[in-house]
Amino acid sequence: MSILRIEGLKKAFNEKTVIENLELEVGSHEIYGFIGSNGAGKTTTMKMVLGLLAADEGDIYVCDEKVRFGDTLTNRHVGYLPDVPEFYTYMNAVEYLKLCADITGVEKSAQKERIDELLELVGLKGEKTKIKNYSRGMKQRLGIAQALIHRPKLLICDEPTSALDPKGRMEILKILKEITKETTVIFSTHILTDVERICDRVGILYDGAIVKAFDLNQESFGEKGIAVELDAGAYETLKPLLDIRRMVGTTYIIADHSMKEIYDTLHAHKIYPSKIVKEQKSLEDVYLEVTS
Amino acid sequence: MIQMSALFRKEVVESWRNFRLMAILIVFIIIGVLSPFTALILPDILGMVMKDSGIMAEIPDSAALDSYTQFFTNMNQMGLVIFVIVFGSILTHEFSRNTLVNLVTKGLKRTNVIVVKSVFLIFVWTMGYVVSALVTYIYTLYYWDEAVDHLILSFTMTWMYGLFIISLVMFASTLFTNSFIAVLLSVVAIVIMMMMASIHPDVAEYLPQYLIGNNVGLLAGEVEPRDVLWPSVITGGVTLVLFLLAVLRFRKAPMN
Protein backbone atom coordinates (compact mmCIF):
# COMPACT_ATOMS: atom_id res chain seq x y z
CA MET A 1 0.00 0.00 0.00
CA SER A 2 1.27 3.47 -0.79
CA ILE A 3 1.33 5.85 2.15
CA LEU A 4 1.43 8.93 -0.06
CA ARG A 5 0.24 9.28 -3.64
CA ILE A 6 0.32 12.54 -5.57
CA GLU A 7 -1.33 12.71 -8.98
CA GLY A 8 -1.01 15.58 -11.46
CA LEU A 9 -0.43 18.25 -8.81
CA LYS A 10 -0.30 21.86 -9.94
CA LYS A 11 0.16 25.05 -7.96
CA ALA A 12 0.84 28.62 -9.01
CA PHE A 13 1.29 31.79 -6.98
CA ASN A 14 0.28 34.97 -8.82
CA GLU A 15 0.59 33.25 -12.19
CA LYS A 16 4.07 31.93 -11.33
CA THR A 17 3.86 28.17 -11.61
CA VAL A 18 5.66 26.47 -8.74
CA ILE A 19 4.42 22.90 -9.14
CA GLU A 20 3.59 21.54 -12.58
CA ASN A 21 2.10 18.08 -12.96
CA LEU A 22 3.87 16.50 -10.00
CA GLU A 23 3.53 12.73 -9.63
CA LEU A 24 4.85 10.88 -6.59
CA GLU A 25 4.26 7.64 -4.77
CA VAL A 26 5.86 6.67 -1.47
CA GLY A 27 5.49 3.25 0.13
CA SER A 28 5.50 2.28 3.78
CA HIS A 29 8.56 2.27 6.04
CA GLU A 30 10.85 4.02 3.61
CA ILE A 31 12.71 7.31 3.84
CA TYR A 32 12.05 9.36 0.76
CA GLY A 33 14.38 12.26 0.09
CA PHE A 34 12.76 15.15 -1.65
CA ILE A 35 15.50 17.38 -2.99
CA GLY A 36 15.53 20.61 -4.90
CA SER A 37 16.98 24.08 -4.75
CA ASN A 38 15.52 26.83 -2.59
CA GLY A 39 12.20 27.87 -4.10
CA ALA A 40 11.84 24.62 -6.08
CA GLY A 41 8.45 23.94 -4.46
CA LYS A 42 9.35 21.36 -1.81
CA THR A 43 7.66 23.21 1.05
CA THR A 44 4.68 24.13 -1.13
CA THR A 45 4.18 20.45 -1.99
CA MET A 46 4.41 19.43 1.64
CA LYS A 47 1.93 22.10 2.70
CA MET A 48 -0.53 20.84 0.10
CA VAL A 49 -0.09 17.29 1.47
CA LEU A 50 -0.91 18.70 4.92
CA GLY A 51 -3.97 20.58 3.65
CA LEU A 52 -2.43 23.92 4.61
CA LEU A 53 -2.44 25.17 1.02
CA ALA A 54 -4.97 24.52 -1.72
CA ALA A 55 -3.80 22.77 -4.89
CA ASP A 56 -4.85 24.33 -8.20
CA GLU A 57 -5.14 20.91 -9.85
CA GLY A 58 -4.45 17.29 -9.05
CA ASP A 59 -5.11 14.97 -6.14
CA ILE A 60 -3.19 13.92 -3.06
CA TYR A 61 -3.90 10.72 -1.13
CA VAL A 62 -2.54 9.80 2.28
CA CYS A 63 -3.16 6.16 3.19
CA ASP A 64 -5.56 6.08 0.22
CA GLU A 65 -7.69 8.90 1.67
CA LYS A 66 -7.98 12.09 -0.33
CA VAL A 67 -6.44 15.21 1.18
CA ARG A 68 -8.81 18.16 1.36
CA PHE A 69 -7.69 21.74 1.83
CA GLY A 70 -8.50 23.11 5.28
CA ASP A 71 -9.70 20.64 7.89
CA THR A 72 -8.35 17.46 6.30
CA LEU A 73 -8.99 14.20 8.11
CA THR A 74 -5.87 12.71 6.57
CA ASN A 75 -3.74 14.67 9.04
CA ARG A 76 -4.52 12.04 11.68
CA HIS A 77 -2.11 9.79 9.72
CA VAL A 78 0.52 12.49 9.39
CA GLY A 79 3.20 14.00 11.59
CA TYR A 80 4.86 17.22 10.48
CA LEU A 81 8.20 18.69 11.37
CA PRO A 82 8.60 22.20 9.90
CA ASP A 83 12.06 23.56 9.11
CA VAL A 84 11.80 25.89 12.10
CA PRO A 85 9.26 24.34 14.46
CA GLU A 86 7.52 26.88 16.66
CA PHE A 87 6.22 26.02 20.11
CA TYR A 88 4.45 27.66 23.01
CA THR A 89 7.71 28.69 24.61
CA TYR A 90 6.26 29.24 28.08
CA MET A 91 5.69 25.47 28.32
CA ASN A 92 8.24 22.75 28.97
CA ALA A 93 8.60 19.69 26.73
CA VAL A 94 6.26 17.47 28.76
CA GLU A 95 3.53 20.14 28.87
CA TYR A 96 3.79 20.69 25.13
CA LEU A 97 3.70 17.00 24.30
CA LYS A 98 0.73 16.57 26.65
CA LEU A 99 -1.12 19.27 24.69
CA CYS A 100 -0.25 17.51 21.42
CA ALA A 101 -1.38 14.18 22.86
CA ASP A 102 -4.74 15.68 23.87
CA ILE A 103 -5.19 17.29 20.45
CA THR A 104 -4.45 14.04 18.64
CA GLY A 105 -6.66 11.98 20.94
CA VAL A 106 -3.98 9.81 22.57
CA GLU A 107 -5.65 7.96 25.45
CA LYS A 108 -5.02 9.66 28.82
CA SER A 109 -3.76 6.40 30.31
CA ALA A 110 -1.19 5.98 27.52
CA GLN A 111 0.03 9.57 27.41
CA LYS A 112 2.73 9.42 30.09
CA GLU A 113 4.33 6.31 28.66
CA ARG A 114 4.28 7.69 25.10
CA ILE A 115 5.71 11.05 26.17
CA ASP A 116 8.51 9.35 28.15
CA GLU A 117 9.25 7.08 25.21
CA LEU A 118 9.52 10.00 22.79
CA LEU A 119 11.59 12.17 25.11
CA GLU A 120 13.96 9.23 25.51
CA LEU A 121 14.12 8.82 21.72
CA VAL A 122 15.00 12.47 21.11
CA GLY A 123 17.28 12.80 24.12
CA LEU A 124 15.18 15.29 26.08
CA LYS A 125 14.18 13.05 28.97
CA GLY A 126 14.37 14.87 32.28
CA GLU A 127 14.62 18.26 30.55
CA LYS A 128 12.47 20.51 32.71
CA THR A 129 13.42 23.97 31.42
CA LYS A 130 10.96 26.05 29.43
CA ILE A 131 11.13 25.70 25.65
CA LYS A 132 12.14 29.36 25.35
CA ASN A 133 15.54 28.34 26.75
CA TYR A 134 16.07 25.54 24.22
CA SER A 135 18.81 25.59 21.58
CA ARG A 136 17.92 25.20 17.91
CA GLY A 137 18.89 21.52 18.00
CA MET A 138 16.76 20.84 21.09
CA LYS A 139 13.78 22.50 19.42
CA GLN A 140 14.29 20.35 16.34
CA ARG A 141 14.39 17.21 18.49
CA LEU A 142 11.26 18.28 20.34
CA GLY A 143 9.76 18.92 16.90
CA ILE A 144 10.31 15.28 16.01
CA ALA A 145 8.77 14.15 19.31
CA GLN A 146 5.63 16.25 18.79
CA ALA A 147 5.31 15.01 15.22
CA LEU A 148 5.42 11.38 16.37
CA ILE A 149 3.14 11.66 19.41
CA HIS A 150 0.18 9.97 17.69
CA ARG A 151 2.26 7.29 15.93
CA PRO A 152 1.67 8.72 12.44
CA LYS A 153 2.02 6.52 9.39
CA LEU A 154 3.73 9.35 7.54
CA LEU A 155 6.24 11.84 8.92
CA ILE A 156 6.87 14.88 6.77
CA CYS A 157 10.09 16.73 7.56
CA ASP A 158 10.74 20.03 5.85
CA GLU A 159 14.48 20.68 5.78
CA PRO A 160 14.93 19.38 9.32
CA THR A 161 18.71 19.69 9.35
CA SER A 162 19.40 22.83 7.34
CA ALA A 163 19.77 25.15 10.31
CA LEU A 164 21.74 22.79 12.54
CA ASP A 165 25.42 22.33 13.29
CA PRO A 166 27.07 19.03 12.19
CA LYS A 167 26.47 17.35 15.56
CA GLY A 168 22.83 18.43 15.62
CA ARG A 169 22.41 17.19 12.04
CA MET A 170 23.83 13.78 12.89
CA GLU A 171 21.48 13.47 15.87
CA ILE A 172 18.41 14.30 13.79
CA LEU A 173 19.42 11.93 10.96
CA LYS A 174 19.99 9.13 13.47
CA ILE A 175 16.51 9.65 14.94
CA LEU A 176 14.89 9.74 11.49
CA LYS A 177 16.62 6.49 10.53
CA GLU A 178 15.46 4.86 13.76
CA ILE A 179 11.79 5.71 13.40
CA THR A 180 11.29 4.07 10.00
CA LYS A 181 10.43 0.87 11.87
CA GLU A 182 7.14 2.58 12.70
CA THR A 183 6.61 5.21 10.05
CA THR A 184 7.35 6.40 6.53
CA VAL A 185 9.49 9.53 6.34
CA ILE A 186 9.47 12.18 3.64
CA PHE A 187 12.41 14.40 4.05
CA SER A 188 12.98 17.56 2.03
CA THR A 189 16.39 19.14 1.93
CA HIS A 190 19.06 20.65 -0.20
CA ILE A 191 21.83 19.03 1.84
CA LEU A 192 22.53 16.09 -0.44
CA THR A 193 24.92 14.26 1.88
CA ASP A 194 22.07 13.94 4.41
CA VAL A 195 19.92 12.32 1.74
CA GLU A 196 22.67 9.90 0.72
CA ARG A 197 23.23 9.01 4.35
CA ILE A 198 19.70 7.95 5.31
CA CYS A 199 17.26 7.85 2.38
CA ASP A 200 15.99 4.76 0.58
CA ARG A 201 14.68 6.66 -2.41
CA VAL A 202 15.17 10.14 -3.68
CA GLY A 203 13.38 12.44 -6.12
CA ILE A 204 14.83 15.60 -7.61
CA LEU A 205 12.29 18.39 -7.88
CA TYR A 206 13.04 20.81 -10.68
CA ASP A 207 10.79 23.11 -12.68
CA GLY A 208 7.81 21.97 -10.63
CA ALA A 209 8.12 18.25 -11.32
CA ILE A 210 10.21 15.29 -10.25
CA VAL A 211 12.71 15.10 -13.06
CA LYS A 212 14.75 12.20 -11.74
CA ALA A 213 14.17 9.54 -9.09
CA PHE A 214 16.50 6.89 -7.69
CA ASP A 215 16.44 3.91 -5.41
CA LEU A 216 19.53 4.57 -3.35
CA ASN A 217 19.64 1.01 -2.05
CA GLN A 218 19.88 -0.51 -5.52
CA GLU A 219 21.15 1.96 -8.06
CA SER A 220 24.46 3.64 -8.41
CA PHE A 221 24.55 6.94 -10.22
CA GLY A 222 27.00 5.65 -12.80
CA GLU A 223 30.67 6.34 -13.42
CA LYS A 224 31.90 9.86 -13.43
CA GLY A 225 35.30 9.01 -14.93
CA ILE A 226 38.75 8.00 -13.85
CA ALA A 227 40.58 10.13 -11.34
CA VAL A 228 44.32 10.37 -11.88
CA GLU A 229 46.68 12.13 -9.51
CA LEU A 230 49.69 13.54 -11.37
CA ASP A 231 52.45 16.09 -11.17
CA ALA A 232 51.25 19.59 -11.98
CA GLY A 233 53.18 19.77 -15.27
CA ALA A 234 51.50 16.69 -16.76
CA TYR A 235 48.26 18.52 -17.56
CA GLU A 236 49.62 20.36 -20.61
CA THR A 237 50.92 17.10 -22.05
CA LEU A 238 47.69 15.20 -21.51
CA LYS A 239 45.26 17.96 -22.45
CA PRO A 240 45.33 17.34 -26.23
CA LEU A 241 45.27 13.55 -25.76
CA LEU A 242 42.54 12.85 -23.24
CA ASP A 243 39.08 14.22 -22.41
CA ILE A 244 39.90 15.88 -19.10
CA ARG A 245 36.69 17.09 -17.52
CA ARG A 246 37.65 18.44 -14.15
CA MET A 247 40.65 19.13 -11.99
CA VAL A 248 40.76 19.10 -8.23
CA GLY A 249 44.25 20.19 -7.17
CA THR A 250 46.57 17.74 -8.90
CA THR A 251 43.79 15.19 -9.46
CA TYR A 252 42.35 15.08 -12.97
CA ILE A 253 38.98 13.51 -13.74
CA ILE A 254 39.21 11.88 -17.14
CA ALA A 255 35.98 10.75 -18.81
CA ASP A 256 35.08 8.75 -21.95
CA HIS A 257 38.28 6.72 -21.93
CA SER A 258 38.87 3.16 -20.76
CA MET A 259 41.39 2.43 -18.06
CA LYS A 260 43.61 0.77 -20.72
CA GLU A 261 43.60 3.86 -22.95
CA ILE A 262 44.61 6.04 -20.00
CA TYR A 263 47.35 3.62 -18.90
CA ASP A 264 48.70 3.43 -22.46
CA THR A 265 48.71 7.21 -22.89
CA LEU A 266 50.44 7.80 -19.57
CA HIS A 267 52.98 5.05 -20.31
CA ALA A 268 53.70 6.41 -23.83
CA HIS A 269 54.54 9.84 -22.38
CA LYS A 270 56.40 8.48 -19.38
CA ILE A 271 53.97 10.05 -16.94
CA TYR A 272 53.65 8.11 -13.68
CA PRO A 273 50.52 8.74 -11.62
CA SER A 274 50.64 8.59 -7.82
CA LYS A 275 47.00 7.43 -7.77
CA ILE A 276 44.51 6.20 -10.34
CA VAL A 277 40.96 5.22 -9.43
CA LYS A 278 37.50 4.83 -11.00
CA GLU A 279 35.23 7.62 -9.71
CA GLN A 280 31.49 7.04 -9.19
CA LYS A 281 29.03 9.88 -9.68
CA SER A 282 27.65 11.28 -6.45
CA LEU A 283 24.11 12.47 -5.90
CA GLU A 284 25.49 15.98 -6.12
CA ASP A 285 26.89 15.27 -9.61
CA VAL A 286 23.53 13.96 -10.78
CA TYR A 287 21.68 16.83 -9.15
CA LEU A 288 23.89 19.38 -10.88
CA GLU A 289 23.50 17.57 -14.22
CA VAL A 290 19.73 17.53 -13.92
CA THR A 291 19.27 21.07 -12.69
CA SER A 292 21.83 22.89 -14.81
CA MET B 1 -14.54 18.01 23.07
CA ILE B 2 -11.13 16.77 24.28
CA GLN B 3 -9.47 19.01 21.70
CA MET B 4 -11.50 21.99 22.86
CA SER B 5 -10.81 21.50 26.57
CA ALA B 6 -7.08 20.99 25.88
CA LEU B 7 -6.98 24.16 23.81
CA PHE B 8 -8.94 26.10 26.43
CA ARG B 9 -6.52 24.99 29.16
CA LYS B 10 -3.67 26.12 26.90
CA GLU B 11 -5.26 29.58 26.53
CA VAL B 12 -5.68 29.91 30.30
CA VAL B 13 -2.09 28.82 30.99
CA GLU B 14 -0.76 31.10 28.25
CA SER B 15 -2.56 34.23 29.40
CA TRP B 16 -1.64 33.48 33.03
CA ARG B 17 2.07 32.91 32.35
CA ASN B 18 2.24 35.90 29.99
CA PHE B 19 0.58 38.02 32.73
CA ARG B 20 -2.18 39.10 30.36
CA LEU B 21 -4.93 37.66 32.51
CA MET B 22 -3.49 39.31 35.60
CA ALA B 23 -3.05 42.63 33.75
CA ILE B 24 -6.64 42.76 32.56
CA LEU B 25 -7.98 41.78 36.00
CA ILE B 26 -5.94 44.53 37.65
CA VAL B 27 -7.08 47.12 35.09
CA PHE B 28 -10.73 46.14 35.52
CA ILE B 29 -10.49 46.17 39.31
CA ILE B 30 -8.88 49.62 39.15
CA ILE B 31 -11.77 50.82 36.96
CA GLY B 32 -14.19 49.30 39.47
CA VAL B 33 -12.55 51.05 42.41
CA LEU B 34 -11.75 54.36 40.72
CA SER B 35 -15.19 55.02 39.23
CA PRO B 36 -17.12 55.51 42.51
CA PHE B 37 -14.07 57.10 44.13
CA THR B 38 -13.77 59.66 41.30
CA ALA B 39 -17.48 60.41 41.53
CA LEU B 40 -17.08 60.87 45.28
CA ILE B 41 -14.18 63.32 45.16
CA LEU B 42 -15.11 65.11 41.92
CA PRO B 43 -17.29 67.79 43.62
CA ASP B 44 -14.45 68.56 46.05
CA ILE B 45 -11.91 68.80 43.23
CA LEU B 46 -14.23 70.99 41.17
CA GLY B 47 -14.89 73.14 44.22
CA MET B 48 -11.16 73.66 44.80
CA VAL B 49 -10.48 74.42 41.15
CA MET B 50 -13.33 76.92 40.99
CA LYS B 51 -12.29 78.51 44.26
CA ASP B 52 -8.73 78.93 42.96
CA SER B 53 -10.13 80.48 39.78
CA GLY B 54 -12.39 82.78 41.74
CA ILE B 55 -15.60 81.28 40.41
CA MET B 56 -18.41 81.12 42.89
CA ALA B 57 -20.96 78.44 42.17
CA GLU B 58 -22.75 75.76 44.14
CA ILE B 59 -21.65 72.27 43.22
CA PRO B 60 -24.24 69.60 43.99
CA ASP B 61 -23.18 66.56 46.01
CA SER B 62 -22.40 63.50 43.98
CA ALA B 63 -24.89 60.63 43.78
CA ALA B 64 -24.93 56.94 42.85
CA LEU B 65 -25.76 57.89 39.26
CA ASP B 66 -22.47 59.82 39.04
CA SER B 67 -20.59 56.74 40.15
CA TYR B 68 -22.18 54.63 37.40
CA THR B 69 -21.61 57.45 34.89
CA GLN B 70 -17.91 57.30 35.74
CA PHE B 71 -17.94 53.51 35.49
CA PHE B 72 -19.51 53.42 32.02
CA THR B 73 -17.27 56.23 30.77
CA ASN B 74 -14.16 54.41 31.99
CA MET B 75 -15.26 50.95 30.87
CA ASN B 76 -16.62 51.95 27.45
CA GLN B 77 -13.66 54.12 26.58
CA MET B 78 -10.69 52.71 28.46
CA GLY B 79 -11.58 49.19 29.63
CA LEU B 80 -12.67 47.93 26.22
CA VAL B 81 -9.70 49.51 24.45
CA ILE B 82 -7.24 47.95 26.91
CA PHE B 83 -9.01 44.61 26.58
CA VAL B 84 -8.64 44.72 22.78
CA ILE B 85 -4.98 45.79 23.02
CA VAL B 86 -4.15 42.99 25.48
CA PHE B 87 -6.15 40.18 23.88
CA GLY B 88 -6.70 41.40 20.29
CA SER B 89 -3.75 39.38 18.99
CA ILE B 90 -4.93 36.06 20.44
CA LEU B 91 -5.25 34.54 16.96
CA THR B 92 -2.90 36.67 14.88
CA HIS B 93 0.14 36.04 17.07
CA GLU B 94 -0.35 32.32 16.41
CA PHE B 95 -0.26 33.10 12.68
CA SER B 96 2.80 35.31 12.91
CA ARG B 97 4.71 32.76 15.01
CA ASN B 98 3.34 29.69 13.17
CA THR B 99 2.50 27.99 16.46
CA LEU B 100 -0.82 26.65 15.19
CA VAL B 101 0.78 24.70 12.34
CA ASN B 102 2.00 21.91 14.64
CA LEU B 103 -1.50 21.45 16.05
CA VAL B 104 -3.52 21.86 12.85
CA THR B 105 -1.32 19.30 11.09
CA LYS B 106 -2.17 16.86 13.88
CA GLY B 107 -5.86 17.04 13.11
CA LEU B 108 -6.88 19.96 15.33
CA LYS B 109 -10.15 21.16 13.80
CA ARG B 110 -9.90 24.76 12.71
CA THR B 111 -13.48 25.37 13.86
CA ASN B 112 -12.36 24.40 17.37
CA VAL B 113 -9.59 27.01 17.24
CA ILE B 114 -12.05 29.84 16.60
CA VAL B 115 -14.68 28.50 19.01
CA VAL B 116 -12.20 28.03 21.87
CA LYS B 117 -10.46 31.36 21.38
CA SER B 118 -13.81 33.16 21.18
CA VAL B 119 -15.14 31.37 24.28
CA PHE B 120 -11.91 32.18 26.11
CA LEU B 121 -12.16 35.88 25.22
CA ILE B 122 -15.82 35.93 26.26
CA PHE B 123 -14.84 34.20 29.51
CA VAL B 124 -12.09 36.75 30.29
CA TRP B 125 -14.24 39.71 29.27
CA THR B 126 -17.18 38.46 31.35
CA MET B 127 -15.03 37.65 34.36
CA GLY B 128 -13.18 40.98 34.26
CA TYR B 129 -16.31 42.96 33.57
CA VAL B 130 -18.37 41.28 36.31
CA VAL B 131 -15.59 41.80 38.86
CA SER B 132 -15.27 45.45 37.83
CA ALA B 133 -19.04 46.04 37.88
CA LEU B 134 -19.37 44.29 41.26
CA VAL B 135 -16.60 46.40 42.78
CA THR B 136 -18.27 49.58 41.51
CA TYR B 137 -21.68 48.37 42.71
CA ILE B 138 -20.40 47.52 46.21
CA TYR B 139 -18.51 50.82 46.61
CA THR B 140 -21.47 52.78 45.24
CA LEU B 141 -23.75 51.12 47.79
CA TYR B 142 -21.19 51.82 50.50
CA TYR B 143 -20.80 55.53 49.66
CA TRP B 144 -24.35 56.44 48.69
CA ASP B 145 -26.70 53.54 49.49
CA GLU B 146 -29.17 54.63 46.80
CA ALA B 147 -31.27 52.36 44.60
CA VAL B 148 -30.88 52.87 40.84
CA ASP B 149 -33.38 51.51 38.31
CA HIS B 150 -32.44 49.22 35.41
CA LEU B 151 -28.91 48.76 36.72
CA ILE B 152 -28.53 45.14 35.53
CA LEU B 153 -29.82 45.99 32.05
CA SER B 154 -27.47 48.93 31.91
CA PHE B 155 -24.49 46.74 32.86
CA THR B 156 -25.62 44.13 30.33
CA MET B 157 -25.55 46.68 27.48
CA THR B 158 -21.80 47.27 27.77
CA TRP B 159 -21.20 43.54 28.27
CA MET B 160 -23.07 42.83 25.03
CA TYR B 161 -21.08 45.48 23.22
CA GLY B 162 -17.92 43.76 24.46
CA LEU B 163 -19.10 40.50 22.88
CA PHE B 164 -19.68 42.37 19.63
CA ILE B 165 -16.11 43.78 19.75
CA ILE B 166 -14.71 40.29 20.44
CA SER B 167 -16.55 38.88 17.41
CA LEU B 168 -15.31 41.77 15.27
CA VAL B 169 -11.70 41.21 16.36
CA MET B 170 -11.97 37.46 15.76
CA PHE B 171 -13.36 37.95 12.28
CA ALA B 172 -10.76 40.60 11.42
CA SER B 173 -8.03 38.26 12.69
CA THR B 174 -9.06 35.60 10.18
CA LEU B 175 -8.82 38.13 7.35
CA PHE B 176 -5.47 39.63 8.30
CA THR B 177 -2.63 37.76 9.93
CA ASN B 178 -1.14 41.02 11.19
CA SER B 179 -2.62 41.85 14.59
CA PHE B 180 -2.22 45.59 14.05
CA ILE B 181 -4.23 45.45 10.80
CA ALA B 182 -6.83 43.20 12.43
CA VAL B 183 -7.36 45.65 15.28
CA LEU B 184 -7.24 48.56 12.85
CA LEU B 185 -9.97 46.96 10.73
CA SER B 186 -12.13 46.59 13.85
CA VAL B 187 -11.63 50.28 14.67
CA VAL B 188 -12.43 51.27 11.07
CA ALA B 189 -15.65 49.23 11.24
CA ILE B 190 -16.65 51.06 14.42
CA VAL B 191 -15.80 54.46 12.92
CA ILE B 192 -17.93 53.63 9.84
CA MET B 193 -20.83 52.76 12.12
CA MET B 194 -20.42 56.04 13.98
CA MET B 195 -20.35 57.95 10.68
CA MET B 196 -23.51 56.16 9.59
CA ALA B 197 -25.08 57.20 12.86
CA SER B 198 -24.12 60.83 12.41
CA ILE B 199 -25.27 60.93 8.76
CA HIS B 200 -28.59 59.35 9.58
CA PRO B 201 -29.45 59.64 13.30
CA ASP B 202 -32.44 57.29 12.93
CA VAL B 203 -29.99 54.49 12.13
CA ALA B 204 -28.09 55.17 15.36
CA GLU B 205 -30.96 53.72 17.40
CA TYR B 206 -30.30 50.32 15.86
CA LEU B 207 -26.50 50.21 15.96
CA PRO B 208 -24.33 48.50 18.61
CA GLN B 209 -22.97 51.93 19.57
CA TYR B 210 -26.41 52.75 21.00
CA LEU B 211 -25.75 50.23 23.78
CA ILE B 212 -22.67 52.00 25.13
CA GLY B 213 -24.03 55.47 24.46
CA ASN B 214 -27.15 55.07 26.56
CA ASN B 215 -26.24 53.15 29.72
CA VAL B 216 -26.47 56.30 31.80
CA GLY B 217 -29.56 57.50 29.92
CA LEU B 218 -31.29 54.29 30.92
CA LEU B 219 -30.31 54.75 34.59
CA ALA B 220 -31.39 58.40 34.50
CA GLY B 221 -34.75 57.50 32.97
CA GLU B 222 -34.03 59.32 29.69
CA VAL B 223 -34.17 56.03 27.78
CA GLU B 224 -36.72 53.29 28.28
CA PRO B 225 -35.77 49.59 28.44
CA ARG B 226 -37.85 48.96 25.29
CA ASP B 227 -35.59 51.41 23.39
CA VAL B 228 -32.69 49.06 24.01
CA LEU B 229 -34.45 46.01 22.57
CA TRP B 230 -33.65 46.48 18.88
CA PRO B 231 -30.02 47.53 19.21
CA SER B 232 -29.55 44.54 21.54
CA VAL B 233 -31.16 42.13 19.09
CA ILE B 234 -29.16 43.59 16.19
CA THR B 235 -25.90 43.56 18.17
CA GLY B 236 -26.52 39.94 19.21
CA GLY B 237 -27.33 38.98 15.61
CA VAL B 238 -24.31 40.76 14.13
CA THR B 239 -22.09 39.19 16.82
CA LEU B 240 -23.30 35.69 15.94
CA VAL B 241 -22.86 36.34 12.22
CA LEU B 242 -19.31 37.63 12.76
CA PHE B 243 -18.38 34.55 14.83
CA LEU B 244 -19.84 32.34 12.10
CA LEU B 245 -17.94 34.21 9.38
CA ALA B 246 -14.73 33.89 11.40
CA VAL B 247 -15.22 30.10 11.56
CA LEU B 248 -16.03 29.82 7.84
CA ARG B 249 -13.11 32.00 6.82
CA PHE B 250 -10.60 30.27 9.09
CA ARG B 251 -11.60 26.82 7.84
CA LYS B 252 -10.30 27.79 4.41
CA ALA B 253 -7.46 30.12 5.37
CA PRO B 254 -4.07 29.18 3.91
CA MET B 255 -1.43 28.63 6.61
CA ASN B 256 2.25 29.12 6.02
Residues ≥6 apart with Cβ < 8 Å to B80: B158, B161, B162, B165
pLDDT tens figures, A245-260: 777 777 777 777 777 8
What residues does each domain of chain B span?
Answer: 2-251
Residues of chain B positioned with their CB less than 8 A from the CB of A71:
109-111, 251
Burial of B181: CB neighbours in 10 Å, binned 0-12, 13-18, 19+: middle
Supply the CATH classification number for the domain A2-215: 3.40.50.300
Among candidate residues A88, A99, A46, A47, the one with its CA nearest the CA of residue A70: A47
Q: Do B111 and A54 touch (CB under 8 A)?
A: no
> Class assignment of domain A223-291?
alpha beta
Q: Do B13 and A54 touch (CB under 8 A)?
A: no
What pLDDT sits at residue B179? Answer: 67
CA distances from B193 to A145, B76, B85, B201 (A): 49, 16, 20, 11
What pLDDT sits at residue A190? Answer: 82
Q: Does B111 touch chain A (CB under 8 A)?
A: yes
What pLDDT sits at residue B22? Answer: 93
| ipTM score | 0.81
Residues of chain B with pLDDT under 50: none
CA distances from A246 to A230, A271, A283, A287 (A): 13, 19, 17, 17
CB-based contact A156:A82 (threshold 8 Å): no
Residue intervals of chain A classified under CATH 3.30.70 are: 223-291
Residues of chain A positioned with their CB less than 8 A from the CB of B105:
50, 52, 75, 78-80
Model confidence, pTM: 0.80
Q: Does B49 touch chain A (CB under 8 A)?
A: no
Residue intervals of chain A classified under CATH 3.40.50.300 are: 2-215
Residues of chain B positioned with their CB less than 8 A from the CB of A18:
none
Averaged over successive runs of 10 residues, the pLDDT of chain A (292 residues) comes to 89 87 88 86 90 90 89 86 89 93 88 90 85 88 89 89 80 84 88 85 86 78 77 76 75 77 82 80 79 76
Helix (H) or strand (E) holding B254: none
The secondary structure of A250-281 as a DSSP string is TEEEE-SS-HHHHHHHHHHTT---SEEEEEEP
Handedness of CA B102, B106, B110, B114 (dihedral sign): negative
Chain B residue closest in CA terms to A88: B99
Chain B residue closest in CA terms to A107: B2
Residues ≥6 apart with Cβ < 8 Å to A285: A221, A224
Cα–Cα distance for residue pair A240/A111, rounded to 1 Å: 71
CB-based contact B10:B108 (threshold 8 Å): no
